[in-house]
Amino acid sequence: MAGQQLGVLNALDVAKTQWYHFTAIVIAGMGFFTDAYDLFCISLVTKLLGRIYYTDIKDPKPGVLPPNVQAAVTGVALCGTLAGQLFFGWLGDKMGRKRVYGLTLMLMVVCSIASGLSFGSSAKGVIATLCFFRFWLGFGIGGDYPLSATIMSEYANKKTRGAFIAAVFAMQGFGILAGGIVALIVSSSFDHHYKVPTYKENPQASLVLPAFDYVWRIILMFGAVPAALTYYWRMKMPETARYTALVAKNAKQAASDMSKVLQVDLEAEEEKVKEITESQTQKFGLFSKEFAKRHGLHLLGTTTTWFLLDIAFYSQNLFQKDIFSAIGWIPPSQNMNAIHEVYRIARAQTLIALCSTVPGYWFTVAFIDYMGRFAIQLMGFIFMTIFMFALAIPYDHWTKKENRIGFVVMYSLTFFFSNFGPNATTFVVPAEIFPARLRSTCHGISAAAGKAGAIVGAFGFLYASQSKDPKKTDKGYPTGIGVKNSLIMLGVINFLGIIFTLLVPESKGKSLEELSGENEDEGAEAIEMQGSARTVPV
């Protein structure tokens, strides 16, 4: 039998949805809004960077970033994010969620501004400075993943916990949408003011310097605004009761903090906290046999599914503009001026975000506590696999002018089911199923595995999606396997996601301590472990 739950934690579990829940969603969610904006806005401006710093007006086509530079610019923030997830995830369990939370936000604000101020007298200098600041921007973003998820899961009640954590993650959809909208506003303002010819008409006049150099800087720097606005409120949030009681072992502080939050009188159960925290079942570490026995398969499930999902998700986002070019949504670069190209790419990505990315996230919020995490994740991977193969196998059919709208609809549906599916659930589940003293660390490890997948997607598919015909590749790139074969590979990756989802446990409707085994009696450990081994809900 499970041991008795602490009163303060039980009060959080059974609390009705209150104002503080929504406050926590907004405070944590604005961090995610900023994360998504900062990570995805770079793909809107890479073509412009290529034109500004790598154009030779004697060439028939405008300049593009060389392959190694393109890979560095798009991938360096992901590398920083991976490092930040591991470091701040570990730090959140050592120092407390709240103390580390403000640090990540300040790092994001400073580095967003610094990215836009990237300096240098040469192309190499500007790009090197940009990459330096985007690495540290990513480092701050990385910390937001485990901390936001852990804080929200530890504040939420058990009835609607999934929806609350998913709502924090859903702010990512608005961040992607905001990136597109900001790019549309900035680029259309410059486009209307300067009214320059296309590159084909006049290569030199199609690029107005230094004016157009401000465009990408403004777009990148805007990411600092939402993060700065929420800093004060983050600092006012009390530490979560689960960290204070179960990790810091301070029953009085936990009861005092949650009495103010819940507006009820809560007793400080010091003896019970001492009994729980000194139990042998609560002393095993991350690298112990006991952890491997209890949570090893769970951690394998959360890391592999997030890794596979992010290969598909980030490669889709990062070579979105290439797909749009291939199907004719974006004209050949020489038929546009520099700023109009930014406008066309932003418009295409905003439409995808509006029609599929944002709705997908909020479908998850609406249904996660009814359908459960397992069902949504499995369904998402299945539909992503189906739609990827449906796009890839008759790819030549989709490239014909009369079928382009159908292609975009199918492509949008893969995005919809990644967000109403594993993109949300891989974020939610690791924040629920591990013990409080390892929760932030394990979420950080799972998220870092995801970012490793994103790096594979961003770097690998940048090259893979190039045409097999040397005449049709982007300047400086070797021939690749083409968009069709890239989509087939992504379909296979999504299929593997279906298989590894079977390792992920269902956490719907249970308290965090029930899921992690933190309130169980030592004598009941064997019985509890048999129950927690089940992965598929029945």
Q: What CATH number is associated with residue 449?
A: 1.20.1250.20
Handedness of CA 260, 261, 263, 268 (dihedral sign): negative
Token code pair at residue 401 = 């002018």
Residue 71, in any domain of the structure: yes
The conformation of residue 535, written as its DSSP 8-state character, comes to -
| φ and ψ of 306, to 5 deg | -70, -40
Domain membership flag for residue 19: yes
- The answer as to whether 68 is a domain residue is yes
Residue 538 lies in a domain: no
- Assess contact for 465 and 486: CB atoms under 8 A: yes
Distance between CA atoms of residues 428 and 230, nearest Å: 22
Alpha helix positions (H), 117-250: 123-155, 161-194, 213-221, 224-236, 241-242
pLDDT for 298 equals: 95
- Per-residue confidence (pLDDT) for residue 404, from 0 to 100: 73
Distant-in-sequence, close-in-space partners of 50: CB < 8 Å, separation ≥ 6: 62, 63, 64, 65, 70
pTM, full prediction? 0.89
* pLDDT value of position 3: 55
Distance between CA atoms of residues 538 and 535, nearest Å: 9
User: What is the per-residue pLDDT for 325?
Assistant: 65
pLDDT for 530 equals 44
3-state secondary structure of 48: helix
Residue 2 is assigned to a structural domain of this protein? no
Q: Please name the amino acid found at residue 102.
A: G
Tokens 């570490």: give the residue.
285
Three-state secondary structure of 97-122: HHHHHHHHHHHHHHHHHHHHCCCCCC
Give me 467's structure tokens.
């045409």
The parent domain of residue 478 ranges over 7-533
Q: Pick the closest to residue 225 from 33, 23, 28, 27 (CA basis).
A: 33
The answer to whether the CB of 333 falls within 8 A of the CB of 341 is yes
3-class DSSP assignment, residue 2: strand
Task: State phi, psi for 520 to the nearest 5 degrees.
Answer: -90, 150
How many domains is the chain built from?
A: 1
- The tokens for 273 are 């906290």
Please name which of 455, 491, 396 lies closest in space to residue 39, comparing C-alpha atoms: 455
Collect the ranges in the chain with pLDDT lower than 50. Answer: 1-2, 318, 523-538
Question: Could you give the angle at which helices 289-318 and 482-501 cross, rounded to 10 degrees?
Answer: 150
Does residue 316 fall inside a structural domain? yes
Which residues lie closer than 8 Å to 33 by C-beta, 6 or more apart? Answer: 171, 172, 174, 175, 178, 226
CA quadruple 520, 378, 41, 29: dihedral sign: negative
Taking the chain, what is the end-to-end CA distance rounded to the nearest angstrom?
A: 21
Q: Which long-range contacts (CB under 8 A, 24 or more apart) does 121-126 make?
A: 123/53, 123/54, 126/53
Closest CA to 41 of 294, 223, 202: 223
Contact 493, 419 (CB under 8 A): no
Residue showing tokens 């640090």: 103
Q: How far apart are CA 126 and CA 49, in angstroms?
A: 10
